[in-house]
Structure 1
Amino acid sequence: MLMPKRTKWRKQQKGRNRGKSFRGNKIEFGDIAIKAVEAGRIDSRQIEAARITMTRKINRTGKTWIRVFPDKPLTAKPLETRMGKGKGAVDRWVMNIKPGRIIFEMAGVEEELARAALTLAIHKMPFKCKIITAKDSHELY
């Protein structure tokens, strides 16, 4: 699972996830990519599940880039715990995703096979995504 090696603070507030992505919204490394269409929050387990399905589909050929990193801790209190007694322990690591953000990129694979692999990865995402190519990369959203 992806998580930071160390952080300045153990816990963070939830914050808001508004607006569009102005960073990481263009294809930088690969030929074809997954782009988020709506806002959401991606978990380290979801990133790993999508990565595994993509690499299995392309039979470990080509190259895949993960363009997101979960650096925000989400806390949860244990089940059947009464209210109070402070904030819960860190449960998982997430990243807020805004519309237009590139999540995965792929290169060195035939486009038809890459589209099939990325479609499988899209099914693992908790928000709507679309597949774009390097030619479509200039379209922001």
Structure 2
Amino acid sequence: MAQMPRRVKHRKVQRGHIKGNATRGNKVVFGDYGLQALDPGWLKAQTIEAGRIAAQQYIRGEGKLYIRVFPHRSITSTPLETRMGKGKGEPEYWVATIKPGTILYEIGGVGEQQAKICFARLAHKMPFKVRMVKRLPM
């Protein structure tokens, strides 16, 4: 089931712009390898879940998968064939706002070749360019 917040302060938010690079959440912290976004964009909750399922099916309980993003933002839309002037539409789905450099997923407990293949499967599902990064030595 796709993720969404239990409660939010504001149900509907404005679209805004995604400016700058990620300063937080841009380093591999939990696992050994990470999948890093190279472009800005919105990542749907359904896409996050699809990536989770694809990764879990590949690693089959050998390693551990960490999801580093959460969809906090609601995206609204009005129904088709509706005239103008009836206000903003109802929330349709939830997205995570992704800046370039954000780590999306992390994997620990698997080899580099396995992580590369797993992240290649995930990269096909992402709506923007991504790359695999290693954890920096302490």
Q: Deviations over 1:18-72 (max 9, x none)?
A: 1000000001100001001111110100100011111111113211110000100
Aligned to 2:104: 103
CA deviation after TM superposition for structure 1 residue 94, in Å = 0.7
Q: For residues 134 and 23 of structure 1, what CA distance do their matches in structure 2 show?
A: 15
What is the alpha-carbon distance in structure 2 between the residues aligned to residue 40 and residue 8 of structure 1?
23
Query: What is the SS of the residue equivalent to 1:124?
Result: coil
Alignment of 1:127 with 2:135, yes or no, is: no
**1:51 alignment counterpart:** 52
Aligned twin of 1:87: 88
> Normalising by the residue count of structure 2, what TM-score does the alignment of the two structures yield?
0.95
Alignment-derived partner of residue 72 in structure 1: 73
Gaps of 5+ in 2: none
Please tell me the residue identity of whatever aligns with 1:103.
L
RMSD over aligned Cα atoms: 1.4
Report the AA paired with residue 55 of structure 1: Q
* Secondary structure of the structure 2 residue equivalent to 1:17: coil
Q: How many residues align?
A: 137
Indicate the percent of aligned positions where both proteins have the same amino acid: 45
Structure 1: runs of 5+ lacking an equivalent: none
Q: Which runs of 4+ in 1 moved over 3 A?
A: none
State the alpha-carbon separation in 2 of the partners of residues 61 and 93 from structure 1: 30
Q: What TM-score does the superposition give when structure 1 sets the normalisation length?
A: 0.93
The one-letter code matched in structure 1 to 2:95 is: V
Q: Distance in 2 between matches of 1:125 and 1:101?
A: 13
SS of 1:119's equivalent? helix
In the alignment, residue 108 of structure 2 is paired with which amino acid? A
Looking at structure 1, the residues matched to 115 and 97 of structure 2 have their Cα atoms a distance apart, in angstroms, of 25
Q: The residue matched to 2:114 in structure 1 has which SS?
A: helix
